[in-house]
Amino acid sequence: MEVIIGAPDELARLAAGAIEKLLRRCPDAVLGLATGSSPLAVYDELVRLHVADGLSFARARAFNLDEYVGLPADHPQRYSNVIEHAFTGRVDFAAGAVHGPDGLAQDLVAACAAYEDAIAAAGGVDLQIVGIGTDGHVAFNEPGSSLASRTRIKTLTEQTRADNARFFSGDIDQVPHLCLTQGLATVMAARHIVLVATGRAKADAVHQLVEGPVSAMWPATILQLHPHVTVLVDNGAASRLQLADYFRSTYAAKPVWQGL
Ligand code: GLP
């Protein structure tokens, strides 16, 4: 696990730079996309690279982490719409290249299995962008999630519904209770995981993620068992890290050729 502490714009450039490097080398790469406010600056930087430097997504494929159950197809907070609005609709992905769990399926269990099959058929995710919830959730894997879980139906915690109420006019009653989410084992199967977290509200979750014991109580801690994770955090999110000075000096001494 590499931890890099930097200003939010620098973190966005690092994450977008890793995706750019991957796509220049492998134009048909499979990207894993996340909602939430943390990755937005990364998506803006990718759009900038698309417009200014011709970075193309025309042959790439993408899989979203999660989706609310039951939001109408045109609801602005439906995660497939959020990702399209924030990122994929602003670049040149081919029609049908961006996938998400189907929160409107008649048979939600079958939709979850089909989603796992689709990721596998695409050859797995090459680079997965993730955020982290204040309770340590990754995608929508809430505390208590099986560390071996696959895409499935989950019930959101009151904490997550309260955190996300800001996207629903501040009204928690409008936030769905149910979601479909990639499981922790699904996320762990990605070849490179890039986690972005900013702001003091994430400090406890980031401390547990990097320095806590691996536990279903803080689902993100499973990432400690992944061989290639990059954790990008600003000063606020890093404010509870005991090893912050070590991470700062490690990054300052990092050879430029190493990349992420
Ligand atoms: C939601 C998403 C997560 C995301 C989390 C944090 O719950 N399902 O994938 O990591 O929000 O969001 P934010 O970055 O806005 O704090």
Distance (angstroms) between ligand 1 centre and the Cα of 229 equals 18
* Structure tokens belonging to residue 8: 């939010």
Cα separation, 175 vs 191, in Å, equals 32
Mean pLDDT of the 21-41 span: 96
Q: Would residue 136 be called left, alpha or beta, if left means φ above 0 and alpha means ψ between -120 and 50 degrees?
A: left
Per-residue pLDDT at 30: 98
Q: State which of 137, 141, 186, 196 you would mutate to test the pocket of ligand 1, scoring each by most atoms of that ligand within 8 A of its C-beta.
A: 137
Residue 237 pLDDT = 98
35 lines ligand 1 (CB under 6 A): yes
Q: What is the pLDDT of residue 163?
A: 87
In short, whether 140's Cβ falls inside 6 Å of ligand 1 is: yes
Residue 95: phi and psi, rounded to 5, are -55, 135
**CA-nearest residue, atom 13 of ligand 1:** 36
Residues near 197 by Cβ (< 8 Å), separated by ≥ 6?
Answer: 38, 131, 132, 205, 206, 231, 232, 233, 234, 237
pLDDT band at 97 (very low <50, low <70, confident <90, very high): very high
Q: Is 20 a catalytic residue?
A: no
pLDDT above 90 for 256:
no
Q: Residues 34-77: pLDDT tens digits? A: 999 999 999 999 999 999 999 999 999 999 999 999 999 999 99
44 belongs to the catalytic site = no
| Per-position b or e across 36-55, b if 16+ CB within 10 A of its CB | bebbbbbbbbbbebbeeeeb
- Distance from residue 133's CA to the centre of ligand 1 (Å): 5
The residue whose CA is least distant from atom 12 of ligand 1 is 36
C-alpha–C-alpha distance, residues 143 and 209, integer Å: 13
Ligand 1 site, residue 131, Cβ cutoff 6 A: yes
Q: What's the pLDDT at 95?
A: 97
Q: Do the beta carbons of residue 15 and residue 242 sit within 8 Å? A: no
Asked whether 175 and 70 are in contact (CB, 8 A), the reply is: no
225 confidence band (pLDDT: 50, 70, 90): very high
Taking residues 75-83, what's their average pLDDT?
97
Testing ligand 1's pocket by substitution, the residue of 11, 33, 35 carrying the most ligand atoms inside 8 A of its CB is 35
Coil, helix or strand at residue 56: coil
Residue nearest (by alpha carbon) to ligand 1 atom 10: 131
- Whether 207 is a known active-site residue: answer no
Query: CA-CA distances (angstroms) from residue 190 to 3, 48, 106, 132, 215?
Result: 18, 25, 28, 16, 20
What atom of ligand 1 comes closest to residue 66's alpha carbon? 8
Residue 234 bears catalytic tag: no
Q: Which of 59-63, 209-213, 229-233, 256-260 has the lowest mean pLDDT?
A: 256-260
**Interaxial angle between packed helices 8-25 and 40-53, expressed in degrees from 0 to 180 and rounded to the nearest 10:** 50
Per-residue pLDDT tens digits for 107-162 = 999 999 999 999 999 999 999 999 999 999 999 999 999 999 999 999 999 988 99
- Confidence label for 251 from pLDDT (cuts 50, 70 and 90): very high
Query: Which has the closest alpha carbon to 36: 210, 151, 181?
Result: 181
116 Cβ below 6 A of ligand 1: no
The percent of residues above 90 in pLDDT, for the chain, comes to 97
Strand ranges for the chain from DSSP E: 2-5, 30-33, 61-64, 66-68, 98-99, 127-130, 152-155, 178-181, 192-197, 229-233
Q: What is the DSSP letter of 141?
A: B
Q: Is 132 in the pocket of ligand 1 (CB under 6 A)?
A: yes
Report how far ligand 1's centroid is from the alpha carbon of 96 (Å): 24
| Whole-structure pTM value | 0.96
